[in-house]
Structure 1
């Protein structure tokens, strides 16, 4: 349970940093700081579940696109996973992740999220 909570917390921190850097993406809901942290954590868990169950299927289907684009389609797939997370939270709750536009907002968010997650993994592995 410890590694799961650590990964969810790091993903939540990375998502929060992305919302600070990329305009057009943010968290909706939460009046207090505690509720906002809870929302970020739950969105991180939902994002992890989307990556665990939907992303492998999308990657297998898009193997020809990986070859054709020399792997650059991976950025679009990551943006699609963010967009799915946003869609799930928007259509099931009154809080969650908000992305105003798939093209450029979600694409930039996916790029920044990959970079921030990589940097956070370096910091955590260094300890």
Structure 2
């Protein structure tokens, strides 16, 4: 349970950095508390999308992984971020990604920041 909590907070921090750096990714809300709760909800939604949808897409896109030497991963991550934005709109969360370009940059930032935080924070058994 502690490992899940640490990874969720690391992903929330990665999403927060992407929201802060990319103008096309927005998280709106009333006060800071509402924004933090919305960010945690979006993080859980993003984790659910990455746990359920992404493995299926990766399996179907396997020939593209070979053809592009793995660069298709950035496109798939961007699509997962756009899907999270769409689902957030469905469940009435104030998170939005404006277009594929913002999603691509956001996915790159989320991947790098999440990787760095997961390296810095050791995994506990």
Both proteins in one fold, TM over 0.5: yes
Per the TM alignment, residue 69 of structure 1 is displaced from its structure 2 partner at its CA by: 0.8
Per the TM alignment, residue 99 of structure 1 is displaced from its structure 2 partner at its CA by: 0.6
> Which of 86, 99, 123 matches 1:101?
99
CA distance in 2, matches of 1:34, 1:98: 18
Kept in 1, the 8 Å contact 2:18–2:106? The answer is yes
CA distance in 1, matches of 2:94, 2:49: 14
Per the TM alignment, residue 9 of structure 1 is displaced from its structure 2 partner at its CA by: 1.2
Match of 1:46 in 2: 45
| Aligned: 1:84 with 2:93 | no
- Relative to the length of structure 2, the TM-score reads 0.92
Match of 1:116 in 2: 113
Moved over 2 A (4+): none
What SS does structure 2 have at the residue aligned with 1:67? Answer: helix
- Relative to the length of structure 1, the TM-score reads 0.91
CA distance in 1, matches of 2:70, 2:119: 23
- RMSD of aligned Cα (Å): 1.3
Unaligned segments of structure 2, at least 5 residues: none
* Aligned residue pair count: 123
Kept in 1, the 8 Å contact 2:12–2:40? The answer is yes
Deviates more, 1:4-13 or 1:37-46: 4-13
Kept in 1, the 8 Å contact 2:12–2:39? The answer is yes
CA distance in 2, matches of 1:82, 1:63: 20
Kept in 1, the 8 Å contact 2:7–2:118? The answer is no
